[in-house]
Amino acid sequence: MPKKEKKRLQVVISDEQDALLTKAAYELSSPERLVSKSEVVRLAIEKIAREIEEGRLEVDALLAKLKEEEASGE
């Protein structure tokens, strides 16, 4: 996967989200190749975008989750 060409985004995440990223990176890693949390984020972005494009992801449910997180202060 080519490295990003845009300026790095700084996103605040919760401790729970950081733990999920760490777990996903660990699960995707192997003795031959370590996968970073940044790579997990890039993969997730591609997966979400592809699923939205293909109509396999419920956009309204995602937006509702974002609103719920904003309301709870995460």
pLDDT in tens, 2-57: 565 666 778 888 899 999 999 999 999 999 999 999 999 999 999 999 999 999 98
pLDDT at 4: 58
Whole-model pTM? 0.74
pLDDT at 1: 53
Domain-wise residue ranges, the chain: 16-25+35-72
pLDDT at 25: 97
pLDDT at 47: 95
Residue 62, classed as helix, strand or coil, is helix
Q: Which residue would you say has higher pLDDT here, 74 or 30?
A: 30
